[in-house]
Amino acid sequence: MNITDVRVIVTSPGRNFVTIKIVTDEGITGVGDATLNGSELAVVAYLTEHLRPLLLGRDAGRIEETWQYLYRGAYWRRGPVTMPAIAAVDTALWDIKGKAAGMPVYQLLGGASRERIMVYGHAQGTAVEETVADVGRFLARGYRAVRAQVAVPGLSGTYGVGSDGDRYEPASIGLPEETVWSTPEYLAHAPELFAEVRRVHGYGFHLLHDVHHRLSPIEAASLGKALEPYRMFWIEDPTPSEDQSAFRLIRQHTTTPVATGEIINSIFDCQWLITERLIDYIRTSVVHAGGITHLRRILALAELYGVRSGSHGATDLSPVCLAAAVHVNTAVPNFGIQEYMPHTPETDAVFPHSYRFDNGHLMPGGDPGLGVDIDEDAAAEHPYEPAYLPVARLRDGSVHDW
Ligand code: EZ4
Ligand code: CO
């Protein structure tokens, strides 16, 4: 079965997505997510100008060899632009192989290790009592795990707190929004949220928090210690994740579990985090970490060191990525948790899928392949609009990690 076409589809049903559809001479097609939030067209150019010519005429069944060819064969390796492009090709080829075999992809990965995928939802609020109430709404909907974020008084645009109720979408149309950050004000305010969440809702569910790369190692260590009484499931991205040795310092000071990896795109960028047991959960995703083939390799390494998966699943990871994540999560022995923000109905209409949410869990569908597709006619109704992620500055105007 040979590849006859690689279509790159850009669509914006409420937010931007890049999707590929690989077409074969046997009529079987496969889809892959290539969305890089805020830099979408860089991946589109890499796919259309550089990868597509390499793929036409190739055997669609040779998934591993194609991955090696696109990665090792490229000389310039890794990075946030090339890896989602390779990921999309890889994901689409798994989809094709599953359809050709008449099996859901998780069967090709060794079969189901579990019946359902525990997810966590995003509770948020502009004040502590608002977030506490929002956590209650998630628990009432059956969630077993909830991430809690609250605005820091006096800071504009705190990460994780949206203006439109249910969904937090950090990207905005036009040039980047600028937000103000102050670590001392955050550290003084944040622990109050978790004290209040536990006081009101108790300890019978998993509580998570995303620091979003803002702290220095010693600040992160102090936050971890301050949150120990609240028995967090994890604190996420306490420090910028490219600095692997920073996590050693955090580890030396606190037993609060640590997660990182949503911006990590290769096994080489989390090798020491895993083998030195500096983290508890690795958040690499199908789209940003080189597809099912490479994510599976990262999770196999992680399994050896007792590190569990906790894949990124914000709404900028499309339903195609989420479908692929459901298959990986179903199969791997060391699944931990899956981030889940429901996509909007207009996004779901562009990407019909068979996975479903039920009582705090995602359930794989039984369709052959990934069980997700892109409706290209519906996609064409939502033209691309350039958008950026925000930029953070300290009060003195200097640039900080967003
Ligand atoms: O900021 O996906 O845990 N989730 C996150 C996300 C990221 C966005 C960036 O595109 O950190 O909200
Ligand atoms: Co995050």
Q: Each residue of 293-333: pLDDT tens digit? A: 999 999 999 999 999 999 999 999 999 999 999 999 999 99
Assess whether pLDDT exceeds 70 at residue 223. yes
Ligand 1 atom 8: the closest Cα is on which residue? Answer: 314
Ligand 1 atom 7: the closest Cα is on which residue? Answer: 314
Q: Which atom of ligand 1 is nearest to the CA of 37?
A: 10
Q: What is the number of the ligand closest to the CA of 340?
A: 1
**pLDDT for 163:** 66
**pLDDT for 164:** 64
Q: Mean pLDDT, to the nearest integer, of 339-367?
A: 97
Which of 15, 122, 169, 262 most suits a substitution to test ligand 1, by most atoms within 8 Å of the C-beta? 262
Assess whether pLDDT exceeds 70 at residue 248. yes
Q: What is the number of the ligand closest to the CA of 288?
A: 1
**pLDDT for 245:** 96
**pLDDT for 165:** 62
Mean pLDDT of the chain: 97
**pLDDT for 166:** 65
CA distance 137 to 74: 48
CA distance 201 to 134: 11
Beta bridge partners of 330: none
C-alpha 314 to ligand 2 mean position (Å): 8
Q: In percent, how much of the chain has pLDDT > 90?
A: 98
Ligand 1 atom 10: the closest Cα is on which residue? Answer: 37
Amino acid at position 15, single letter: R
* pLDDT tens digits along 66-115: 999 999 999 999 999 999 999 999 999 999 999 999 999 999 999 999 99
Q: Residues with beta carbon inside 6 Å of ligand 1?
A: 37, 170, 210, 212, 262, 312, 314, 316, 339, 389
Q: Which atom of ligand 1 is nearest to the CA of 210?
A: 3
C-alpha 90 to ligand 1 mean position (Å): 23
Give the C-alpha distances (Å, rounded to integers) separating 227 from 192, 193, 223, 254.
9, 10, 6, 9
Give the C-alpha distances (Å, rounded to integers) separating 36 from 116, 289, 352, 388, 400.
28, 12, 21, 11, 21
**pLDDT for 162:** 85
**pLDDT for 275:** 98
**Residues 212 and 402 sit within 8 Å (Cβ to Cβ):** yes
Assess whether pLDDT exceeds 70 at residue 356. yes
- Of 283, 284, 223, 234, nearest to 257 (Cα)? 234
Which of 312, 340, 388, 391 most suits a substitution to test ligand 1, by most atoms within 8 Å of the C-beta? 312
Q: What is the number of the ligand closest to the CA of 339?
A: 1
Q: In sequence order, what DSSP letters do the residues of 322-381 get, joined into one string?
A: HHHHHHHHHH-TTB--EE--PPPHHHHHHS-BS-EEETTEEE----SBTSB---HHHHHT
* pLDDT tens digits along 254-285: 999 999 999 999 999 999 999 999 999 999 99
**pLDDT for 296:** 98
Ligand 1 atom 2: the closest Cα is on which residue? Answer: 314
* pLDDT tens digits along 30-53: 999 999 999 999 999 999 999 999
C-alpha 2 to ligand 2 mean position (Å): 38
Q: In percent, how much of the chain has pLDDT > 70?
A: 99
* pLDDT tens digits along 332-352: 999 999 999 999 999 999 999
* pLDDT tens digits along 128-168: 999 999 999 999 999 999 999 999 999 988 899 986 666 78
Give the C-alpha distances (Å, rounded to integers) separating 44 from 39, 172, 262.
9, 20, 21
Prediction pTM value: 0.97
Catalytic residue numbers, as ranges: 159, 212
**pLDDT for 156:** 84
**pLDDT for 9:** 98
Ligand 1 atom 12: the closest Cα is on which residue? Answer: 314
